[in-house]
Structure 1
Amino acid sequence: MNKHISRDALEDASGAPEACQVTPAHVERPHPSAEMARVVGTTPLHMALDSCGAGIAHWKHDPLHDVVAPMSHHVIMAYNGTVQRIVRRTGSAVAIGTLRPGAVIIIPEGSSSRWDIPKPVDVVQLYLPHTTLERVAGELDSTTSTDLLERTAQPDSITSRLLLTAAGAMDGNGLDTLFRHQLMDLVTTRLLAAHVGVPTTFQPTLGGLSPIVLRRAIERLRADNDADVSLAALASDAGLSRFHFCRAFKESTGLSPHAWRRQKRLEEAKNMLRDTDASVLSIAVALGYSSQTAFAAAFRKLTGDTPSNWRRRAR
């Protein structure tokens, strides 16, 4: 299969993947990536999954006229293709929608529908375990339902932008564990706010981290490589839920944990390029990138230039 599996597993503070809490009812259902591959007759351009299936994939496929069987995870899709009308049949219910950039599709776990999509499709899919919905709802101190609504070409620019941005990072081999942790929680928070029967009402942020807790979190972000950084571990060290840790960290620093770490890595890269004769490859390895290509793509995205060109100008 043509897919990019991130080298860093999505793990919680104990080392066990949080998303692996699969209930017996899910055992017989196929993973969404397998069911999508069967239905559309191709494989994703890129895919980053944890060890038990939570993750994200970027697909491009031909028109679709088939039934999608019940799947083991919720599937949230952001569309990025040409405008087209689609039909979704679930039992006796028929939903007609217009796919366009900014529209999302939601297939709750266990749901089965026939889809008629007349034109080629460019779509990013998030595979979300129901246990993640329940966890985030609990972290929000929410008593709202966690039953996702079916959505057919529903306008939602926020969810769409989150998923399409992640696909862009994945295309550059930049979808590391910390990024996926934050993405999953951000999208889940948005789903609870806009795509359940009784939307969640969020409480305002209540201050940042204490200086001691912030220093400990920063030390860990500086020290760990991609394979070791876990949002759940950072939150556990702070005595907070993942959701509240991210909000408090951003309140303290102005950046999310992933954005803060990305910025610090960029600063380190600039220092090494300017002040040493180390090769670009050795700098990429030292900073924990999976390859020189991944490092160059991340550097160019943040600076607008390649590492080699930046080094020549800096000197």
Structure 2
Amino acid sequence: MRAASETHRDREPNGHRPSADVEMARVLGTTPFHMALDASGSGIAHWKHDPLHDVVEPMAHHVIMAYNGTVQRMERRTGRSVAIGTFRRGVVIIIPEGSSSRWDIPKPVDVVQLYLPHAMLKRVADEAEIASPTDLLERTAYPDPITSRLLLSAADTLEGNGALDMLFRHQLTDLLATRLLAAHTGSPTTFQPTMGGLSPKVLLRAIERLRSDSDADVSLAALASDAGLSRFHFCRSFKESTGLSPHAWLRQHRLEQAMNMLRDTDESVVSIAAALGYSSQTAFAAAFRKMTGETPSDWRRRVR
């Protein structure tokens, strides 16, 4: 692979650029297999699209991609520079905010994309007390198994549960921003190890929030604010205290709730799914089976 040596950046204000999801829909000519966006335009999208021969115009977000399809060669032209790479699992593609390039990809593509506002990247840098520049480098089929694995996990982990999906997405976005700062800027950063967890009082308050029925209460922003910490430091301290990330803790709690209701009540599976915030019985059954190896109905028959 030959990396591009020159990057073209559009210097128009962000307000004149399309959001990443809008530009990707235009270029790819299809709808995403799955997409979850926040008000800021940040989000995660899973696309399966046909071969591509087109120019991606400057966007209002950084776009980070992890490839999940057939191994293939591709070409990316940025200004007068050409990057030729091989798409495979374990590589990433980064289109920095405001950059433009032509893509020639000869075969169908299966890719998971992160849309990241620069303000969010800078927030993570500020919270982690990083003084180095936060401009992302342009990457074309660049080997980075860690970022690739994190991003591809999003395609398998979104479960059709509003609170769980939102917490996972926010947590993953912050984690990916941390990884990008560490590996994909002009001055790679080393993060200091976590020093200590949450105080017992703050941890108890956080757990009470996670047990709430309100999606607003279990947002990462609300949890961190209530603890008097940044999102970055809250996640690290919560895991230091519990051994689990906030998302993993809430996922385990919802599984325990489901098991109690299946074992101790005669509520239907569809009613339990709705009570626990799942969008459908199918989404609940898939999440339950992923955690236990059994469907909710099979588990209920076995334990009663």
| TM score, norm. by length of structure 1 | 0.90
Deviation at 1:38, TM superposition (A): 1.4
Please name the residue that 1:173 is paired with: 160
Write out aligned runs for 1:1-315 (5 A). 25-170=13-158, 172-174=159-161, 176-315=165-304
Deviation at 1:224, TM superposition (A): 3.4
Please name the residue that 1:14 is paired with: none
Whole-Å Cα distance in 2 between the matches of residues 290 and 84 of structure 1? 36
Whole-Å Cα distance in 2 between the matches of residues 291 and 115 of structure 1? 38
State the AA in 2 paired with 1:130.
Answer: H
State the AA in 1 paired with 2:21.
Answer: S
8 Å contact kept, 1:176–1:226:
no
Deviation at 1:269, TM superposition (A): 0.7
8 Å contact kept, 1:82–1:100:
yes
8 Å contact kept, 1:32–1:127:
yes
| TM score, norm. by length of structure 2 | 0.93
Whole-Å Cα distance in 1 between the matches of residues 214 and 168 of structure 2? 13
- State the 4+ residue runs in structure 1 displaced beyond 3 angstroms: 224-228
Whole-Å Cα distance in 2 between the matches of residues 97 and 285 of structure 1? 46
State the AA in 2 paired with 1:173.
Answer: G
Deviation at 1:103, TM superposition (A): 0.9
Deviation at 1:290, TM superposition (A): 2.1
Whole-Å Cα distance in 2 between the matches of residues 115 and 305 of structure 1? 44
Whole-Å Cα distance in 2 between the matches of residues 224 and 159 of structure 1? 32
1:206-254 deviation line (CA, Å, top 9, x unaligned): 1000000000000110113335421111111111110110010000000
Q: Secondary structure in 2 aligned to 1:270?
A: helix
Percent identity between matched residues is 78
Gap regions ≥5 residues in structure 2: 1-11
Number of equivalent positions: 292
1:134-174 deviation line (CA, Å, top 9, x unaligned): 0000111100110000000011111111111111123x425
Whole-Å Cα distance in 2 between the matches of residues 148 and 219 of structure 1? 38
Whole-Å Cα distance in 2 between the matches of residues 224 and 236 of structure 1? 18
State the AA in 1 paired with 2:255.
Answer: L
8 Å contact kept, 2:216–2:222:
no
1:41-100 deviation line (CA, Å, top 9, x unaligned): 111111111123110111011111111100010000000011111111110111111110
Whole-Å Cα distance in 1 between the matches of residues 53 and 216 of structure 2? 40
- CA RMSD in angstroms comes to 1.4
Q: Secondary structure in 1 aligned to 2:70?
A: coil
Point out the more displaced range, 37-46 or 68-77: 37-46
Gap regions ≥5 residues in structure 1: 1-23
8 Å contact kept, 1:65–1:115:
yes
Q: Secondary structure in 2 aligned to 1:78?
A: strand
Whole-Å Cα distance in 2 between the matches of residues 84 and 286 of structure 1? 45
Whole-Å Cα distance in 2 between the matches of residues 138 and 130 of structure 1? 12
8 Å contact kept, 2:210–2:217:
no
Whole-Å Cα distance in 2 between the matches of residues 233 and 40 of structure 1? 36
Whole-Å Cα distance in 2 between the matches of residues 51 and 138 of structure 1? 21
Whole-Å Cα distance in 2 between the matches of residues 188 and 83 of structure 1? 26
Please name the residue that 2:5 is paired with: none
